[in-house]
Structure 1
Amino acid sequence: MGIKDTFNLAWVPSMLLLGLVYLTYVLIGGVVFWKLEGDLGQKDISLLLRSKNILLTTYPCLNQEGLEAVAQVVQDASKVGLSLRGNYTTDGFWKFTSSAVFAATVVTTIGYGNMSPSSDAGQIFCVFFALFGIPLNVVVLNRVGKYMLALERNISDFLVKKTKRRRCTRFFVHLVSYLSGTVLFFVVPMIVFQMHEGWTFSQAIYYCFITLSTIGFGDFVADSNPEKAYPEWYSVLMASWIFFGLAWLALVINHSIDILERLSNHLKQRRGGQKQEGGSPDTGEADEKAETKTPPEPQ
């Protein structure tokens, strides 16, 4: 195999272009977040420093060391889900239902960070639990996504036989699938979280996407407020929503990747046709054009 075969002349520029687009996209995102959040961050710091000075002035018996001790107590209480308001305590984070949701966030790699094992045995178990649980989760979600896709295809094929309009029917089925998934995994949970967590609709929809995309910042976490008493079914509903929502969003992302790859192949075909008209056909690119991506059918 020669150097030209190893480093395809059509592959290297496209890879460099893709890397340039990726880097540009990340840098643009950094600039936008910097402009949107930078000034607010400075204002938040100024307000916190002012509140600190007011607190030290109001309570002269509380010095810097005492304030740090109070802050440490508040931080430790937040880690275990302990309420500091009133003369009562809650069960904390590590109930069975919340522990099961935590296990789900581990294997799905969401990892909010609001709760984590503190014992040596719990940390070691978490390592091995994630080591085997993450691949298992990927396999199960992949299989569920395949069945979702197969169901969508069966409905599409049935309607194509009735209408005899393949392209319009498939577009309509995809559109209905996307809209119904959006309602089921974003709109309905948004309303539920707004009712039970007291979030705004923008905060709720933000939490839904951050969770289902497995980004999991942890700034908003459902079923974790120690000041609230949640019903038992709430955790079960959350775990079910996370599992099926992850499968649906992964299917949507795979559809988007498929569309982008088809668009890229189409552009390559046009470029290859122009080269052939100019008398310099690219055989490696012609072989690549012949490849088509078809998602696997469920077994």
Structure 2
Amino acid sequence: MGIKEMLNLAWVPSILMLGLVYVVYVLIGGVVFWKLEGDLGEKDISRLVVNKKRLLTTYTCLNQDGLEEVAQVVQDASKVGLSLKGNYTTDGFWKFTSSAVFAATVVTTIGYGNMSPSSTAGQIFCVFFALFGIPLNMVVLNRVGKYMLVIERNISDFVQGKTRRRRCTRFFVHLVSYLSGTVLFFVVPMLVFQQHEGWTYSQAIYYCFITLSTIGFGDFVADSNPDKVYPEWYSVLMASWIFFGLAWLALLINHSMDILERLNTHFKQRWAGQKQEEECGSAEGGNPETQVEEEDEIKTPPITQ
């Protein structure tokens, strides 16, 4: 077996091409983010420097060390979820409901970063909790996603039996499923978060996708503002939305991966078919001298004695 056959057998060119596309995609994303956010970040830094100087000028009793101490207090208060407005304090992050939501963000690998265990026992428990919880979460989400797919296929088969149109029926059922999931896991939560968190619609839809895709930047986190009083059902609704939304988005991503795999297989088959036709054509063309010899052998009668 030659080197060329070995490369074709291992599909090394396709792997390299896929890796090249991945690297180029990431670099393009980096350039776009750099152009969109770079200038804005420099403006934010300049504005903060001006505000810092103005603060030190206004409050002459506050020097650099005092400013650092105030900043540390604000940072510590934000970590535990305490409000610095007024003369009252909230219960902080570590209530039962918010702790349950935190446990959900751990096993789903969202990890907002707005709250984290600070005690040694809590950190050790978090390690083992995530070690067993993440695989369990993946298994459960995979099973729930399969049930969603089964329900979708049963509906598709039922409608197909009534209409006798397979492709149109499957396309219509998939489209309705995607639109229903978009409304249920993006549009409705967007309205709820806009109402209870005071975010804009773009911020709310951004938070929905960042959460359900398990990216979890932590720049926007629902049910974490210490200056707001949330209803008791809010945390339960959030946990349910995260769980079923992850299952639906995982199903959607699996469908997208399946479409990409089918396109890849289709192009591979076309490429292999063209290559086979070229090889067959070259084999049929052959060497002209060989063709002449073969024609002479056919035309020349056998010699008899």
For residues 120 and 280 of structure 1, do their structure 2 counterparts lie closer, same or farther at Cα, with a shift above 3 Å needed? farther
Residue 245 of structure 1 pairs with residue 232 of structure 2: no
Q: Distance in 1 between matches of 2:114 and 2:152?
A: 37
Q: Is the 8 A contact 2:77 2:84 kept in 1?
A: yes
Q: Report the residue type matching 1:55 in the other structure.
A: L
Distance in 2 (alpha carbons) for counterparts of 1:267 and 1:160: 29
Deviation at 1:184, TM superposition (A): 0.1
Q: Deviations over 1:224-273 (max 9, x none)?
A: 00000000100000000000000000000000000000001111111111
Does the alignment pair 1:228 with 2:260?
Answer: no
Identity of aligned residues (%): 85
- 1:46 aligns with 46
Give the corresponding residue for 1:90: 90
Q: Post-superposition shift, 1:8?
A: 3.2
Q: Determine whether 1:205 maps to 2:205.
A: yes
Is the 2:82–2:91 Cα contact (8 Å) retained in structure 1? yes
Deviations 1:179-198 (A, max 9, x none): 00000000000000000000
Letter in structure 2 aligned against 1:122? G
* Alignment root-mean-square deviation, CA: 1.4
Equivalent residue of 1:278, what SS? Answer: helix
TM-score where L is the length of structure 1: 0.92
Unaligned regions of 5+ residues in structure 2, if any?
282-305
Aligned structure 1 segments of 4 or more residues deviating by more than 6 angstroms: 1-5
- Unaligned 5+ runs, structure 1: 282-299
TM-score by length of 2: 0.90
Q: Give the match's secondary structure for 2:114.
A: coil
SS at match of 2:67: helix
> 2-side partners of 1:5 and 1:247: how far apart?
42
CA distance in 2, matches of 1:69, 1:25: 43
How many Å apart are 1:280 and its aligned residue?
A: 5.8
Residue 13 of structure 1 is matched in structure 2 by 13
Q: Larger Rg: 1 or 2?
A: 2
| Equivalent-residue separation in structure 2 for 1:207 and 1:195 (angstroms) | 14
Task: Give the equivalent residue in structure 1 for 2:284.
Answer: none
1:8 is paired with a residue whose SS is helix
Residue 126 of structure 1 corresponds to: 126
Q: How many residues align?
A: 281
> 1:250 is aligned with what amino acid?
A
Match of 2:22 in 1: 22
Q: 1:44 to 1:147 in 2, by over 3 A?
A: same
- Of residues 9-18 and 66-75 in structure 1, the stretch that sits farther from structure 2 once superposed is 9-18
Cα deviation 1:109-130 (Å, max 9, x = unaligned): 0000000000000000000000
Determine the C-alpha separation between the residues in 2 that align with 1:104 and 1:3.
50
Whole-Å separation in 2 of the counterparts to 1:268 and 1:47:
54
- State the distance in 2 between where 1:151 and 1:3 align: 48
Superposed displacement of residue 3, structure 1: 6.3
